[in-house]
Structure 1
C-alpha cells in the first residue's frame, strides 16, 4: 500500500535548482504576507516558466460555467481527465498548472479539462466543490469513456471532497483518483505539520493555517467538505497518492492511505524520498518529476481499460 521511492544518488544540480525554485515560489506566491492579487498573478505567470508538453494542443474554453483549459494529446484515447489545481483554495489556476497538466495528459493519452473553480476568500467553502461537481457532471454527460479525477494539494483535497459529495448524492463516481500531496485535513493535526515545517522548501504551516481560515470562513474544519480525511471513505474509487518525504502534508497522505485501505478501497501511496510538496510540477527541470508522472499510466491502465486500444 505504501511504497518508498528512494532518492537518486549523489548531488543533483537539477534537484538543487528545482528546490530553490520551490522555495522562491512559496515565498512569493503562497505566503500570506503578499496581497492575493499579486500572488495569483505570479502563479499564473509561473505557468509560462516551464514548457508545455509537445504534441498536446491547449485551448481556453468555458466549461460548466467556469473558465478552463482543455488539453488534447496526439493519439488521445477515450476518456477524460478532470484536473483540480492547488493553491490553498485561494491561489492557483488552470494557467498556473498548465505545464504539469499537459505532461500528465500526454503521459495518459487522455484529453484533460483543468478547471478554474472559484477561490476564497471571495468564494469560501463549498463554492469550489459546487464548481467541481458541475464540471464533473457535465463531463459525465459529454463522454462515454472513463473519467480520472486528479488534483494537487488543495486540489487533491477538493477532488476527494467532490467524490464524497457524488457518493452522498448517489451519482456515478470517477473511475479512479490521482492525488498529488493532497491537503485533506484543514485542522493541520498531522505530526508532519510540525516536524517538516522549515524542511519543506515550498510550504510553511502558517501558510496553510491562513489558507484554511480564508476557505472555511467560520465553517467546521472537520466537515467532509473541508477535511475529507475525517469522512467515511468506503466505496470510493481506486486511488493513487504521491507525496514527498520532506513535506508538511506528508501525514495527510499517509493517514489518507491508511484510512482508504481500512475502508476497503484499492489505494497505492508513494513517498518520494528527499522531495517536497508538489515536486511533480517541476517537470521537465526535475528528473524525478517526470519519473513520477510516467508511473501514472501504468497504475491507471486497469481503470481505463474499458476503452483501451
Structure 2
C-alpha cells in the first residue's frame, strides 16, 4: 500500500450546538479557575502558529513527547492534561509538548491533523533528540495518524 502524500483539503465547518458550547465554556471556566494549574507551570508557546504548552524536566531533556489531548475532536484543551504532562516530563526526563489543535465542528477533519502535523514537523526539524508521539482518546487517534504519515 502506498503512503499518502497529502491530506484532503480543509473544508468549511459549522457552528457548534449550544450544548457543546456550554461544555466548552465549563472547561474554559475550570481552566481560568486554575483547576489544572501545575507547579512549576508550563511555558505557553506557539509552534507553527499553534498554541501549545511546554512542560520541561528539572534536568536535561532526553527527548520530546508530542502529547495530544482527547475530547472527541470537539472539546478539550492542553491544560486538562497538565498534571499528566508534568509528571511525564519530570519522571521520564523529557520535554512534553501539548498542542491546542483546532476543534470540530467549526474546523472539521483534517484541521486538527494538519495542526498537529505542523507541530510535529517543527519538532522534528528543531530537535536532534527522539520524538515520541502520544495522545489520549481522540488525541491518540491523531497521534496514530501522525505516525502513519511520518
Matched, 1:119 2:92: no
Residue 49 of structure 1 is matched in structure 2 by: 35
Deviating above 6 A after TM superposition, structure 1's stretches of 4 or more consecutive aligned residues are none
Distance 1:41 1:76, change over 3 A: farther
Q: For the residues of structure 1 that align with 2:21 and 2:60, how far apart are their CA atoms?
A: 36
Choose 1 or 2 for highest CA Rg. Answer: 1
Greater relative contact order (Cα 8 A, min sep 6): structure 1 or 2? 2
If the length of structure 1 is used for normalisation, what is the TM-score?
Answer: 0.40
Residue 134 of structure 1 is matched in structure 2 by 118
Gaps in structure 2 of 5+ consecutive residues: 1-15
Q: Is the 8 A contact 2:36 2:79 kept in 1?
A: no
Deviation at 1:147, TM superposition (A): 0.8
Which position in structure 1 is the counterpart of 2:88?
Answer: 104
Offset at residue 161 of structure 1 (A): 1.1
Q: Which runs of 5+ in 1 are unaligned?
A: 1-31, 167-309
1:56-99: per-residue Cα shift (whole Å, max 9, x none)? 45111111111111111201323111110001101001122222
Of 114-123 and 101-110, deviating more is 101-110
In structure 1, how many angstroms separate the alpha carbons of the residues matched to 2:124 and 2:36? 31
Distance 1:57 1:96, change over 3 A: closer
Q: CA RMSD in A?
A: 2.1
Of 59, 70, 74, 1:75 maps to 59
Residue of structure 2 equivalent to 1:209: none
Residues 199-239 of structure 1: CA deviation (Å, up to 9, x unaligned): xxxxxxxxxxxxxxxxxxxxxxxxxxxxxxxxxxxxxxxxx
User: What is the CA-CA distance between 1:46 and the residue it aligns to?
Assistant: 5.3
**Secondary structure at 1:68's aligned position in 2?**
strand
Count of residues paired in the alignment: 133
CA distance in 1, matches of 2:137, 2:55: 21
Report SS of the residue matched to 1:157: helix
